[in-house]
Amino acid sequence: VQLVESGGDSVQAGGSLTLSCSASGHTYSTNCLGWFRQAPGTKHEGVAAMTTDGDHTYVADSVKGRFSISQGNARNVVQRRMKTLKPEDTATYYCAAPKGNGGFCHARISDGDFAYWGLGTQVTVS
């Protein structure tokens, strides 16, 4: 599974951004696409996830109410909308997918459960 993120940018606090993740390859081998973020010197933090059929979406408590996740306009594209951005949202945001269908898709996704990763897209909030 290959994952490519896009949409990162530098924005003012209070602004909004939409990140996209495009999945290709053996996408049938996974049932979940997740978003993580990582600020310098910190571990990956899971922020949102969605089953690949689009039926179930999950958002971490830490960003609930500001972040959402949904299917994009094209097949195998997942979008994550972020609003009311804060400086502490500054991080590299990664799209990831687990191998298999082992129930890894939920609000508290863990990076250890995700085998496939994109290169990340930078979000800077000032």
Give tens-digit pLDDT for 57-99: 999 999 999 999 988 876 677 888 999 999 999 999 999 999 8
Q: For residue 96, what are the CA distances in angstroms to 19, 28, 30, 59?
A: 13, 14, 10, 15
Average pLDDT over residues 106-126: 94
> Percentage of residues in the chain with pLDDT exceeding 90?
72
Percentage of residues of the chain with pLDDT beyond 70: 98
The answer for 84, left when phi > 0, alpha when psi is -120 to 50, beta otherwise, is left
Calculate the alpha carbon distances from 8 to 50, 53, 82, 103 in Å. Answer: 20, 25, 11, 29
**How much is the pLDDT for 89?**
96
d(CA 70, CA 55): 10
- Tokens of residue 51, six digits: 């089953």
What is the average per-residue pLDDT within 100-113?
Answer: 88
